[in-house]
Amino acid sequence: MMLQELETAVRLQLSIVCLVFCDRKLGLIDVVQKRRLYPACGVDFGGTDLAAIARGFGAHGVKAASFSELETAIADGLRMKGPVVIEVPIDPEEYAKQM
């Protein structure tokens, strides 16, 4: 949720792999609002290309839209020097189903 950590990881050339589950909303907050019968407020946002943002910071950024792509991205990321951000698009309704 904070890009400052990405800048720090790039600056320090930390070899980490970060998975970002991208549901185009603040899903957990949305679930809480719905459970409390509040209207959805400030939780939805449009598509954001997080892999491109990572590359803009100087990190490696990839999108994995399937399990096989995710498996490959993680394996590749573990071999890379410097931070890797893997964007994983997910269905925003999955949070509600899992809670």
Evaluate if pTM is beyond 0.85: no
Encoded tokens for 55: 């590359």
Distance CA 32, CA 23 (A): 16
What is the pLDDT at residue 87? 95
Instruction: Report how far residue 42's alpha carbon sits from residue 5's, in angstroms, rounded to the nearest whole number.
Output: 23
Could you tell me if 18 and 84 are in contact, meaning their C-beta atoms sit under 8 angstroms apart? yes
**pLDDT computed for residue 96 by the predictor:** 67
pLDDT tens figures, 27-79: 788 888 888 999 888 888 877 899 999 999 999 999 999 999 999 999 999 99
State how far Cα 28 lies from the chain centre. 14
